[in-house]
A and B are shown apart, each in its own frame.
Chain A
Amino acid sequence: MVARTAPPSTTDLVRQAIQGRRFGWGDVAFPAALLLALLFALLFLATLLVDIFIKAWDALAGRGWSVVTNPLSLNADTAGLWQSIMGSLALAAVVAALAFPIGIGAAIYLEEYAPDNRFTRFINTNIRNLAGVPSIVYGILGFTIFVRFVRAVGAGGGVGGKNLLAGGLTLAALVLPIVIITTAEALRAVPVSIREAGFGVGATRWEVIRHHVVPYAAPGILTGTVLTLARAFGETAPLLLVGAATGFFSVGSAGLLGKATGPYTALPVTIFSWARQPGAEFRSLTAAAIVVLLAVLLTANAAAIILRNRFERKW
Chain B
Amino acid sequence: MNDQANPDATASPEAQATAPGERLAGRGRPAASLVYSNARRAEAGEPESLIFDVQGLKAFYGSFQAVADTTMAIREHEITALIGPSGCGKTTVLRCFNRMNDLIEGARVEGTIRYHGIDIYGDKVDPVEVRRRIGMVFQKPNPFPKSVFDNIAFGPRIAGYKGNMNDLVQESLTRAALWDEVKDKLRESAYALSGGQQQRLCIARAIATSPDVLLMDEPCSSLDPIATLRIEELMIQLTRDYSIVIVTHNMQQAARVSDRTAFFTVDVKETGMRTGRLVEFDTTEVIFTNPRQKQTEDYITGRFG
Please give the residue numbers on chain A whose beta carbons come within 8 Å of chain B beta carbons, in ascending order: 115-116, 191, 193-204, 207, 211-212, 216, 313
Contact = CB atoms under 8 A, between A and B. Distances in A.
Interface stretch (B43-51, B142-150, B179-187, B291-299): B142-150
Given A202-B129, A211-B154, A196 B142 contact: yes
Given A200-B136, A202-B132, A193 B142 contact: yes
Interface residues of B, number: 26
B128 A202 contact: yes
B158 interface: yes
Contact of B145 (A115, A204, A216): A216
The 10 closest A-B pairs by CB, nearest first: A202-B132, A201-B155, A193-B142, A200-B136, A197-B142, A202-B131, A204-B128, A207-B158, A116-B105, A203-B158
A193 B132 contact: no
A160 B135 CA distance: 62
A255 B234 CA distance: 69
B205 interface: yes
Given A115-B105, A202-B159, A203-B158, A193 B140 contact: yes
The A interface is mostly helix, strand or loop, or mixed, namely: helix
Most buried by B among A116, A193, A201, A211: A201
Interface string B230-271: 000000000000000000000000000000000000000000
Contacts of B142: 191, 193-194, 196-197
Given A202-B131, A202-B132, A202-B159, A196 B154 contact: no
A193 B129 CA distance: 20
Interface in B119-167: 128-129, 131-133, 135-136, 138, 140, 142-145, 154-155, 158-159
Given A195-B103, A216-B145, A201 B205 contact: yes
Interface of B: 98, 100, 103, 105, 128-129, 131-133, 135-136, 138, 140, 142-145, 154-155, 158-159, 202, 205-206, 208-209
Given A201-B132, A203-B128, A203-B158, 8 more contacts: A193-B142, A194-B142, A197-B138, A197-B144, A199-B128, A200-B136, A201-B208, A313-B145
A145 to B, nearest CB: 36
Contacts of B154: 198, 201, 203, 211
A200 B98 contact: yes
Contacts of A196: 100, 103, 136, 138, 142
Nearest to B136: A200
Contact of B135 (A115, A198, A200, A216): A200
B100 A200 contact: yes
Contacts of A313: 145
A17 B62 CA distance: 55
30 contacts: A116-B105, A191-B142, A193-B138, A194-B144, A194-B145, A197-B142, A197-B144, A197-B202, A198-B144, A200-B135, A200-B136, A200-B206, A201-B135, A201-B154, A201-B155, A201-B158, A201-B205, A201-B206, A201-B208, A201-B209, A202-B129, A202-B131, A202-B132, A202-B133, A202-B159, A203-B128, A203-B154, A203-B158, A212-B144, A313-B145
Contacts, number: 65
Contacts of B205: 197, 201
B137 to A, nearest CB: 8
Contacts of B143: 197
Nearest to B133: A202
A199 B155 contact: no
Most buried by B among A194, A195, A203: A203
B287 to A, nearest CB: 28
B105 A202 contact: no
A201 B202 CA distance: 10
A232 B136 CA distance: 46
B140 to A, nearest CB: 6
A207 B103 CA distance: 15
A202 B135 CA distance: 8
Nearest to A314: B191
A202 B95 CA distance: 14
A299 B117 CA distance: 63
Most buried by A among B100, B135, B158: B158
B72 to A, nearest CB: 22
A191 B142 CA distance: 9
Given A193-B138, A193-B140, A204-B128, A199 B145 contact: no
A199 B131 contact: yes
Given A115-B105, A116-B105, A193-B138, A200 B131 contact: yes
Nearest to B143: A197
Nearest to A191: B142
A187 to B, nearest CB: 15
A199 B155 CA distance: 9
A202 B159 CA distance: 8
Contacts of A207: 158
Nearest to A117: B105
A212 to B, nearest CB: 6
B144 A202 contact: no
A202 B161 CA distance: 13
Nearest to A313: B145
Given A115-B105, A196-B100, A196-B138, A202 B155 contact: yes
